[in-house]
Amino acid sequence: MVRENGKFSVFDPLRRKYVSLTPEEWVRQHFTHYLVSHKHYPASMLGNEISLSLGSVRKRCDTVLYDHQAQPRMIVEYKAPSVALTQKVFDQVSRYNMALHVDYLIVSNGMQHFCCRMDYEHHTYAFLREIPDYAEL
């Protein structure tokens, strides 16, 4: 962590640069570390702040997990710890999924985490008890 002009920045190993340490960024850095260190997700297959187009609007997914063919498999949306994980948050990540069509959606505010697996054949989704280990995907 570094401090410049009274503001803190933290090194993001996925983006390979220093970024402003906001409450949401704090959640992102801890959560991606958790995925890599405890759930065995390959860091090389994770991307932070991934741009996408929703019609004519440009948006950014907080974190995306890719497969070996560089196809998106999971979207993770972060909120600051003070932000409740409401239906609005799930709607946001669902909109991103209209463009990416992934297998898993996760939302986290650093205190609570919800993960669901999409079932496109039956047009449903199921919330999982815990975030799956990479080998379980």
Residue 58: inside a domain, yes or no? yes
Residue 118 lies in a domain: yes
6 band by pLDDT with thresholds 50, 70 and 90: confident
Judged against a pLDDT cut of 90, whether residue 61 lies above it is answered with: yes
How many whole angstroms separate alpha carbon 104 and alpha carbon 73? 6
Q: Taking all residues of the chain, what is their mean pLDDT, rounded to a whole number? A: 95
CATH number at residue 80: 3.90.1570.30
Domain count along the chain: 1
Domain boundaries, position 55? 22-136
Overall pTM > 0.75:
yes
Burial string for 33-43 (b: 16+ CB within 10 Å, else e) reads eebbeeeebee
Centre a 10 Å sphere on the Cβ of residue 48 and count the other Cβ atoms it contains. 20
Dist. CA 44–CA 66, nearest whole Å: 9
The residue ranges of DSSP E strands in the chain, in sequence order, are 2-4, 7-12, 17-20, 46-54, 57-66, 72-78, 104-108, 113-119, 124-127
Cα Rg of the chain (Å, integer): 15
4 in a structural domain:
no
Model confidence pLDDT, tens digit, residues 77-103: 999 999 999 999 999 999 999 999 999
Rounded-to-10 torsion of CA 94, 18, 134, 39: -110
Is the pLDDT confidence value at 19 over 90? yes
pLDDT in tens, 97-134: 999 999 999 999 999 999 999 999 999 999 999 999 99
Asked if the model's pLDDT at residue 55 lies above 90, the reply is: no
